[in-house]
Structure 1
Amino acid sequence: MTTTDLHGLLFPALTAADGATQSIPASRLIPAALLGIAVIVVLITRFKLHPFLGLTLGSLTVGAVAGVAMGDVVDSFTKGFGSTAAGVGTLIALGAMFGKLLADSGGADEIVDTLIGRSSERTLPWAMAAVGAIIGLPMFFEIGLVLLMPVIYLVARRAQVSVVRVGIPALAGLSAMHGLVPPHPGPLVAIDALKANLGLTLMFGVIVAIPTIAVSGPLFAKLAGRWVDVPPPAMFGTGDDDERGSRERRPSFGLTMFAVLTPVVLMMGKALADIFSSEGTALRSALDFIGTPVIALLIAVLVGMATLGRGAGMGMKEISTSLEGSLPPIAGIILIVAAGGGFKQTLVDTGIGELVADWVRSSGISVLLLAWVVAVLIRLATGSATVATVTASGILAPLATGLPAAQVSLLVLAIGAGSVFFSHVNDAGFWLVKEYFGLSVGQTFKSWSAMETLLSVTGLVVVLLLGLVV
């Protein structure tokens, strides 16, 4: 290492929000980053502060300890907050609208009933995994869990098996979609922070998700069902077929699947056009436009209004009410994600991210493995997959510079896999599963927490294997 290289490592250039360039020694940058993350973790876990406030105060802590002018820190944070809210926030809102319409129209019930009705006792766990994945594609984890619980109870009673035996595969499908596949908030933030190709990440995400769900869902459920043999709770009645509370009229299975897969097909079409079609052609231009995430999700909402809403016999007033009702519950999520973007920008502007990137490049450590480990540590500390993803993305963003597009997409997925590692008592999902399944804390660890850990590790292994061939 030359003297110039050593100077660059110890005194990385800081490009502040006002365009000024400063040199901050590593002896201040490293404690600044560690203290900023510690502040976020302590505020969220110990003082139960909302993650939006925790991320905001963590950003200010980073700048203050690093010795950056506080006005520049505020400018960096607001810049990152605004750009993330404008890009990712719009996608989250559109995704929530579509998910609410899918639930209110009975389309989600139609998917569940069709797949379960065509399954034998042997294929039932695989069908439940498919249901979880399909429902999880457009929906947030918590919404999908609440939606699926009645059918999990009913199927467990009909098959006379532990609720864990059929519930774990469905949860594996939900969780894998949440951590690995856009348009969920975590993957979208990582894609935005790392400047990854969305279509390519979506394609790789599906490739990673399939074996990951298979291992952590139906295969693991065989063991988990023996460890935790719990009958379904009776909170949804006595098991009558009408306990689903579904609408009298539903959109057909074909129409529902058409609506659900519309944004996926459009974004995949753009990714394929970028690879195989020449620039400037009419086809390339059209696919580039309709495959842009905002346009693809906007089209999906419009298609959903026509197919799901009208297919369920909903009038325009009822459809509008459903769409309006989707936005208040995700306001907090948008604020967390946007604040995560602000924290990321603060790390970038102080030069901390570049310092970490330089260290990793010289150490020979696998970038994908490092990304997973960073996300795992933040997940364990905060209990939030989204906070883990946005924080890890900010730290590792400089590593993506100069990497091939495929490797950047795999970096996103490595972070996503790490973000779902070992859900425990500081995770709201842990308590949701415990209460809905009627488990003890120990049983929840042996089933849900173990499944999340297996899902995370399997996802990492598949990502690393992909990294060898792309």
Structure 2
Amino acid sequence: MDLQLLLALVLGIATIVVVVLRTRLDAFVGLILAGLVTGLVAGQSAVDVITSFTTGFGTTLTSIGIVIGLGVGIGKILEVSGAADALARAFLRAFGKGREEWALGSVGAVVSIPVFCDSGYVIMNPLARSIARVKRGGYVALALALGCGMTLTHHMVPPTPGPLGVAGILGADLGLLILTGLVFAVILLPVVILYARWIGPKLEDEIVPSVREVVYPALAAVSGGRSTGGASSAGTDGDVATAGAAPADAEPAPAAALGEPPSGARPHRVGPLLGALPLLVPLLLIVANTATAAIDRSQQGILEGDYEPAAWTLPFAFVGNPNVALVIGLVLAVYLLLPRWTPRNAVHGWLADAAASAGLILLITGAGGGFGLVLRDSGVGDALAEAIGSINLPAFLVPFLVATVVRIAQGSGTVAMITAASVTAPIVPALGIDPLLAAMACTAGSMVFSYFNDSYFWVVTRFTGLEGVAALRGWSGITTAVWAASIPLLVILSLILG
């Protein structure tokens, strides 16, 4: 590989890492600076670098921006309506006594598809505490299973923003990515449960006193334990720890009041079947679009390249377009999950909050696409493809390892998978990697070793009451276990896709 182009790539990635870890700037600015550094060092003119970056930014958001905004909106309505909690409790009833870790891991996986991990975990953690209080033990295993179940789908299943961004950058089929991500999540869930059940009892005595007194009040009263404030000594994450000290059997509070019901109205309750509709309908529509297009291609004998869709597939193509499908999901969420007396301005406020939370994700995703186009236009992508092709390394490991390194360096799984997709997008065609395989490699690699530089690490460990080495053994260990277990799945997927 040409030394100048190699230097451009190394300096570009180093720029992202240094900006995120050592400055007050965020990943969005880091990706912009990385694109400028890479292009200029590679020999592009300043004008060409800017043109490449802005073109890539716009193209990426064109394909994925609306979907991210709508997906976050659905998640917000699920949260404030109580639908997310209803789904969780239904899973608990379905799995039955003795399978609580399976229930909570499955709950986490379902809830985290539309709801961000951090808020989803805060909403669902009281369930883990209630179960542990009744069982008089096992809280660490329950909390880890819940948290890592959320990690699986948050990293692998659209419409979570990270996988959506990866799909847009790499050009992976969204319906196939949903199906493959779900298959990976289902296969990896037993790894989550087994690790949680293995490590949980070893760490149960490590729970800080303040959390122990909340989770096991009867046991604390017998032992005469006194809170030492261990969970609230986290410095910058003290607010999270304080929130974790809610009563163990408390219902998760909605983000805001749903409004006062009119006189004589029945209390508002959302059942699990109704609560699942805004999730299931868009996913089924997208998958139906993918399936009908595949059937039509097969019938026409056109498995690759452009084709003229048959008339019978057009309705599926319309409603199964991710933008349309998620609009339908959001309409269902607002009109099925919220009571009729909910003030209009309250709903507008929730959707505005959701849009605000999606803003940085949109910017990072777009910047990742811009960085990727700079790599392509500057020649760095082609040179990297030639270099990798000359060594005996499975091609799909390239995006996997890039995501792994970036995740460890700066903590954010979303940034790691988008950076990996951006870096490898220019070389995917040259290496002959299927875009779906490349996308799954990016998402799987970004799960590795969540630790101090990951905000979700602090949410899980403070609510669980683990500190220091215990936190690393519990949470960092379980995320690394699913990362390692994803490698053979990627090997199998590479064999299937040829």
1:287 aligns with 2:306: no
- The equivalent residue for 2:193 is 218
1:371 aligns with 2:399: yes
Moved more, 189-198 or 32-41: 189-198
Relative to 1, partners in 2 of residues 1:99 and 1:63: Cα closer, same or farther, differing over 3 Å? same
Structure 1 position 316, deviation (Å): 3.9
Partner of 1:253: 272
Q: 1:192 aligns with which of 156, 164, 168?
A: 168
Whole-Å separation in 2 of the counterparts to 1:384 and 1:298:
28
Q: Which runs of 4+ in 1 moved over 4 A?
A: 230-233, 402-405
In the TM superposition, what is the alpha-carbon distance from 1:95 to its structure 2 partner? 0.7
Partner of residue 413 from structure 1, selected from 432, 435, 440: 440
For residue 403 of structure 1, report the CA deviation from its aligned partner: 7.5
| Cα deviation 1:390-414 (Å, max 9, x = unaligned) | 1111221133327779x32122111
Equivalent residue, structure 2, for 1:343: 371
CA contact (8 A) 2:375 2:423 kept: yes
Question: Structure 1: how far apart are the matches of 2:376 and 2:129?
Answer: 47
Q: Which residue of 2 aligns with 1:239?
A: 248
- RMSD in angstroms over aligned alpha carbons? 2.0
Q: Percent identity?
A: 31
**Given the alignment, which residue of 259, 274, 291 partners 1:272?**
291
Q: Distance in 2 between matches of 1:200 and 1:237?
A: 41
Matched, 1:228 2:203: yes
Q: How many residues align structurally?
A: 442
Q: Which of 34-43 and 325-334 deviates more?
A: 325-334
Is contact 2:109-2:153 (8 Å) kept? Answer: yes
| Cα distance, 1:325 vs structure 2 | 2.2
SS of match in other structure, 2:469: helix
Matched-pair contact (CA < 8 Å) for 2:42–2:380: no
Instruction: Summarize the alignment of residues 386-397 of structure 1 with structure 2, pairs less than 5 Å apart.
Output: 386-397=414-425
Task: Tell me, yes or no, if the aligned pair for 2:147 and 2:460 is still in contact at 8 Å.
Answer: no
Q: TM-score, normalised by structure 1?
A: 0.89
Q: 2:328 pairs with 299, 302, 323, which one?
A: 299
Partner of 1:433: 460
The answer for the alignment partner of 1:262 in structure 2 is 281
Alpha-carbon deviation of 1:33?
Answer: 0.8
Deviation, 1:56, is 1.1
Code of the aligned partner of 1:38: A
Give the letter for the 1:154 counterpart.
Answer: S
| 1:177–1:209 CA contact under 8 A, matched in 2 | yes
The match for 1:20 is none
How far is 1:322 from its partner?
2.2
Once residues 389 and 33 of structure 1 are traced to their aligned partners in structure 2, the CA distance between those partners, rounded to angstroms, is: 17
1:161 matched to 2:188: no
Spell out, residue by residue over 1:20-40, the C-alpha distance to the aligned partner (whole angstroms, 9 max, x if none): xxxxxx221110110111111
CA contact (8 A) 2:128 2:142 kept: yes
For 1:396 and 1:433, locate their aligned partners in 2 and report how far apart those are by CA, in whole Å. 31
* Aligned-partner Cα distance in 2 for 1:399–1:66: 16
Aligned to 2:240: none
Shift of 1:416: 0.5
Separation in 2 of the partners of 1:182 and 1:463?
18
Q: Aligned pair in 2 of structure 1 residues 280, 79: CA closer, same or farther (>3 Å)?
A: closer
CA contact (8 A) 1:348 1:394 kept: no
1:146 to 122, 139, 151: 122
Q: TM-score, normalised by structure 2?
A: 0.84
In 2, distance between residues paired with 1:362 and 1:107? 52
Check conservation: 1:56, 1:343, Cα contact below 8 A. yes
Q: Give the alignment partner of residue 359 of structure 1, picking from 372, 378, 387.
A: 387
